[in-house]
């Protein structure tokens, strides 16, 4: 069994490769829910949906999120009332949010609802929300007119296009949150644990902030492999490099090694960072060099085989 700590796009791409490398029913993803947001009364779970749609081969390959062949009639209609809606929910995507919201209102847990959704899409991979309790990533801005304002993650990420500096990030509600059903077991029983190349601050950070998850991960350090989301000092997608710098970390594979060294025995870095392998190992983390830019499912599958090889898992 392989357990992956997952955010959105980067994790989805790795998971798509992993289920080519090993049977999909051997894979469990523990997914960030701190980006979840209630919009117009609907419960939207961006990371769960990105992973689901990608694994279902139904995702939009251009954006990395949302569904292929999407239409926007509902949002265009909503614009009549509210002016431009910065968080655009596609018509087909709305089907997912309507179902999730209706089931949650019937007192089904998010873990159960997620299983229903992934099964309806034909997935054999298990997706576990990191928690069923409300945890919300809040971002304090550090630039321009809004400096000092604290906004929700989606407002920073989508409305502001993550183009403003950040002073601090917190995960509201995390202190009181419990790991979701099956999460600690998935970490304890895995033959290999993989930290996906997701944003360390706002995608993996929330998982580690839920009491119990970081401890469970630490206990599996020797079986845990992290994949660096930073390649040659930059994030492939999104603001991970800027966020790391703004919050006082180094936006490099060495900086990633420092963040994860208590949790993962091995860090996989891209060939572009081969010259930093010694510096990574100086942080006490084994460094493996690989092609980490997942330009196709085949590249992701090859990367997956290398990851599993790091911890001696047969495929």
Binding site for its own copies (CB under 8 A): 38-43, 71, 73-82, 90-96, 98-99, 101-102, 104-105, 116-117, 120-121
Phi, psi angle pair for 260, to nearest 5°: -105, 0
Nearer to its own copies by C-beta: 80 or 145? 80
Nearer to its own copies by C-beta: 115 or 232? 115
* 61/203 Cα distance (integer angstroms): 21
Shortest Å distance, C-beta 113 to its own copies: 9
Shortest Å distance, C-beta 185 to its own copies: 26
Nearer to its own copies by C-beta: 121 or 142? 121
Shortest Å distance, C-beta 98 to its own copies: 4
Shortest Å distance, C-beta 83 to its own copies: 10
Which residues fall within 8 angstroms of residue 93, CB to CB, at 6 or more apart? Answer: 49, 66, 67, 70
Shortest Å distance, C-beta 174 to its own copies: 24
Return the CA Rg of the chain.
19
Shortest Å distance, C-beta 128 to its own copies: 19
Q: Tell me which long-range contacts 292-296 makes (C-beta under 8 A, separation of at least 24).
A: 292/197, 292/227, 292/228, 292/231, 292/268, 293/231, 293/236, 294/13, 294/14, 294/17
Nearer to its own copies by C-beta: 57 or 262? 57
Nearer to its own copies by C-beta: 29 or 67? 67
Q: Tell me which long-range contacts 208-211 makes (C-beta under 8 A, separation of at least 24).
A: 208/263, 209/34, 209/135, 209/171, 209/174, 210/130, 210/131, 210/135, 210/174, 210/177, 210/178, 210/179, 211/174, 211/175, 211/177, 211/178, 211/179
Apex CA 236: angle with CA 293 and CA 310, to 5°?
40
Shortest Å distance, C-beta 110 to its own copies: 14
* SS3 (DSSP) at 147: coil
Nearer to its own copies by C-beta: 75 or 219? 75
Shortest Å distance, C-beta 28 to its own copies: 21
* 315/308 Cα distance (integer angstroms): 8
Nearer to its own copies by C-beta: 7 or 66? 66
* 140/148 Cα distance (integer angstroms): 6
Nearer to its own copies by C-beta: 17 or 90? 90
* Residues paired with residue 135 on neighbouring β-strands, in sequence order: none
* 207/135 Cα distance (integer angstroms): 10
* 226/117 Cα distance (integer angstroms): 28
């Amino acid at each position: 069994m392989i357990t992956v700590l997952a955010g959105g796009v980067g994790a989805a791409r790795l998971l798509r490769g992993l289920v080519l490398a090993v049977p999909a029913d051997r894979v469990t993803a523990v997914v960030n829910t701190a980006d979840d947001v209630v919009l117009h009364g609907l419960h939207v779970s961006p990371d769960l949906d990105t992973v689901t749609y990608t694994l279902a081969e139904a995702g939009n390959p251009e954006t990395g999120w949302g569904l292929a062949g999407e239409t926007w009639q509902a949002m265009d209609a909503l614009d009549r009332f509210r002016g431009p809606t910065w968080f655009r929910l596609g018509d087909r995507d709305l089907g997912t949010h309507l179902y999730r919201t209706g089931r949650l209102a019937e007192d089904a847990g998010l873990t159960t609802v997620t299983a229903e959704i992934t099964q309806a899409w034909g997935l054999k991979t298990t997706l576990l929300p990191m928690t069923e309790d409300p945890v919300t990533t809040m971002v304090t801005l550090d630039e321009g007119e809004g400096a000092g304002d604290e906004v929700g993650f989606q407002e920073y990420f989508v409305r502001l296009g993550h183009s403003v500096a950040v002073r601090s990030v917190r995960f509201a509600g995390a202190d009181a949150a419990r790991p979701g059903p099956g999460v600690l077991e998935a970490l304890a029983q895995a033959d290999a644990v993989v930290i996906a190349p997701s944003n360390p601050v706002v995608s993996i950070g929330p998982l580690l902030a839920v009491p119990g998850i970081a401890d469970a991960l630490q206990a599996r350090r020797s079986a845990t492999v992290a994949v660096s989301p930073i390649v040659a000092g930059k994030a492939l997608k999104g603001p991970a490099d800027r966020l790391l710098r703004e919050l006082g970390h180094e936006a490099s594979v060495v900086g990633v090694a420092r963040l994860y060294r208590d949790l993962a025995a091995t860090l996989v870095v891209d060939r572009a960072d081969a010259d930093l392998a010694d510096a990574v190992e100086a942080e006490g983390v084994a460094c493996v060099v690989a092609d980490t830019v997942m330009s196709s499912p085949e590249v992701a599958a090859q990367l997956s085989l290398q990851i599993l090889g790091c911890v001696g898992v047969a495929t």
